[in-house]
Amino acid sequence: MTDLGYDEELRSERSYVAGLYARLDAERARVKGALKDALAGEGRTAMERDDEVRALGKELKRLHVADGGLCFGRLDSLDDETSYIGRIGLFDEKNDYRPVLLDWRAPAARPFYVATAVTPENMRRRRQFHTRGRRLVDFTDEVFGRPGGGERGDAALLAAVNAPRGEGMRDIVSTIQAEQDEIIRLDHPGVLVIEGGPGTGKTVVALHRVAYLLYTHRERMERHGVLVVGPNPAFLNHIGRVLPSLGESDVVFMTPGDLLPGLRVTAEDAEETARLKGSLKILDVLKAAIADRQRVPGQPVPIQLGEVTARIDAETAEWAREEARASGLPHNEARAVFVDIVTYVLTERAISRIGRGWLSREDRDEWERLRSGLVKDLAADEKFTATIDGLWPILTPEGLLADLYTSPGAHPALSRVDGDAWTVSDVPLLDELYTMLGRDKAADRAAEQAAERERTAKAEYAAGVMDGLVKREDSMDDEDHLFAHDLLYAEDLAERFVEADTRDLAERAAADREWTYRHVVVDEAQELSEMDWRALMRRCPSRSFTVVGDLAQRRAAAGARSWGTMLEPYVPGRWVYRSLSVNYRTPAEIMDVAAALLAEFAPGVKPPESVRACGVRPWARRVTEAELPAAIEEFVRDEADRPGTSIVIGPPGVPGTVPASETKGLEFDAVLVVEPERILADGPRGSAELYVALTRATQRLGVLHQGPLPSVLAGLHSE
């Protein structure tokens, strides 16, 4: 293509992209108008209006996020058909709704990501756009199938990976590579495991897969939403913009410690404790703790029924306990069985004494009449209730677990002074106990009655407001009267006060422990324990998961050593494994250093291959304890004058540093690792920590060390 030809093509493409933005603006104006009309709500109930407002609001969000990088490429087929690819789909309503812009998730857009010179997918050319705001700056062409013609698909990709890092992860819709696209579009109904070393893009691939699933199965998925689980809040904040930038908002982001709404994690477990809590062996401990609180009396307990005394003895309580346990109901719900048996025994004994000499069992009506009265008496008897509470108490997960941890006979690894100083490892145990214990039906009834009283009060208030408006209308002129009458209806007002829940799906799901999701993404999944997996599986009955991780980076004592061990019990034969082998983040100079460490602690794991070099050698400098603070300050000061992001990573207790565990999944232009010898001293876990630290950098890596430089870091350039 001549320069003149390129310039003419560029003007033509700019005109086309400008036309797409004009369509986007027109569609946005149309939706805004429809949203305004829906908010007015004429001729609709409040529920209908809220549904329409929510749907139009989501559509408006979708149109807003499409503003940045609306169109990022074009495909020309061997049949001389041209398709433009972008964030969303746009159509020509005047021409049979012909697509003028293909959504990147549409099947017809797939060749944009997978076509190569060897397998061109019936394509002649792929054109990739480089835009700034709404302006098309330039484009790059790849022509497939030319004799001697090579692929030139690296331009957009290398520009993206070399660009300075911002505050959050960016989407990759314009630079998805073939191996990534295959995973994104994989239509597997069970669990998909995506494993890859640092920089392979496994997290962003998983998020784009969610966007693809929401696009292709929207009706099925959007009613329940998607849960994304990440290792820490910094990581979730880092990735939290990707899905909204792709127009998807029905997504809940949580750490494993957030799975129970309202619970605050304030402490950290020792390694041995975390290992025990994460193991399925802890289930026996929890079951035993519950069983230990299902008791029989040491001495018979007398209960006064009218003029006679009946006793709850060990034999009665043992029978009731056996029946309650045999019911298969959770502890709190099985209490009703226990109470029924004890009540039956006490009333039978009391009736036989009350009716001695004049009442026989053949007189069933009178017998049952007496029983009914005695049952009511027992229900109101404080001593009976207190006795039942002692033998089969209503238990809460928090109360039981705190009591278990602080009891004198607690397992040494579980014992602690502050029973409710919750750790991340406690969360799946508490979640398990919610299932084991079940609901407190009496408390549920009381809460529902209170809610009903509140709804009634609100409805009465709404009726009162309406009555006041009606009286006011009597004194208005016709114009004001019509305005007030059109604005408010009594039924509509009552619905707004009583029924309306204006929270979006993500807000409602995050606040509801029993919410179930259509799909769950688990990042840094190698850190999750067996108990963590039980908690997550409860939240997705369909067992539709995208699991992202790297076993070589595992640091959690109870984490995964193999994917099959964790997944096979829940999805036998329904999980598939895919790996990513290309490192798009870490330059070759840095990856060579990290690969030497990987070979030391995980010799069977092959490091990912970097697609680029940055031309900057990673360095190491030995400093004294007195020199260390100034050396860290120097790094921070130098990096502040450069574009992009930087971080200082070090062992716990070193001022000005962040532990490697808090940087998992994150990336920075420059990284300074402080005292690697102390990080390595933490054993196998320390090696994984250092591997994570070394592979966070996209451009520059430096190391400061006080002791001798560990031999596995010999590849660093000494300063």
Q: What is the pLDDT of residue 440?
A: 86
**What are 123's strand-pairing partners?**
77
Phi, psi angles (nearest 5°) of residue 448: -65, -40
Q: What is the pLDDT of residue 211?
A: 83
Rounded to an integer, the average pLDDT of 621-630 is 96
Same CATH fold, 588-718 and 184-258+513-580?
yes
Q: What is the pLDDT of residue 2?
A: 47
- Please state the CATH superfamily assignment of the domain spanning residues 588-718 in this structure: P-loop containing nucleotide triphosphate hydrolases (3.40.50.300)
**Which residue numbers belong to the known binding site for ATP?**
196-203
**Higher-pLDDT residue of 166, 454:** 454
Least confident of 352-366, 395-409, 663-677: 352-366
Q: What is the pLDDT of residue 283?
A: 98
pLDDT digits (tens, 9 = 90+) for 553-569: 898 999 999 999 999 99
Say how far apart CA 21 and CA 660 lie, in whole Å.
43
Say how far apart CA 586 and CA 612 lie, in whole Å.
8
**Which residue numbers belong to the known binding site?**
196-203
Rounded to an integer, the average pLDDT of 474-498 is 47
Note the Cα 322 to chain centre separation in Å.
Answer: 40
Q: What is the pLDDT of residue 167?
A: 54
CA-derived radius of gyration, the chain: 33
Say how far apart CA 660 and CA 675 lie, in whole Å.
12
pLDDT digits (tens, 9 = 90+) for 221-268: 878 889 999 998 888 887 877 776 666 777 899 999 999 999 999 999
Phi-psi label, residue 136: left if phi above 0, alpha if psi -120 to 50, beta otherwise = beta
Q: What is the pLDDT of residue 287?
A: 97
Q: What is the pLDDT of residue 195?
A: 95
Kindly report the CATH class assigned to 184-258+513-580: alpha beta
- Closest of 628, 522, 609, 599 to residue 567, by C-alpha: 522
pLDDT digits (tens, 9 = 90+) for 598-619: 999 989 889 998 888 889 999 9
Q: What is the pLDDT of residue 63?
A: 85
pLDDT digits (tens, 9 = 90+) for 45-102: 777 777 788 788 878 887 887 777 889 889 999 998 999 988 889 998 888 889 999 9
Query: How is the chain split into domains, by residue range?
Result: 3-165, 184-258+513-580, 295-391, 588-718
Q: What is the pLDDT of residue 37?
A: 84
SS3 readout for 372-411:
HHHHHHHHHCHHHHHHHHHHCCCCCHHHHHHHHHHCCCCC
Say how far apart CA 459 and CA 479 lie, in whole Å.
28
pLDDT digits (tens, 9 = 90+) for 515-553: 999 999 999 999 999 999 999 999 999 999 999 999 998
Phi, psi angles (nearest 5°) of residue 438: 75, -175
Q: How confident is the model at residue 130 (pLDDT cuts 50, 70, 90)?
A: confident
C-alpha torsion sign, points 343, 348, 354, 355: positive
Say how far apart CA 529 and CA 671 lie, in whole Å.
30
**Residue 254 near residue 229, CB atoms below 8 Å:** yes
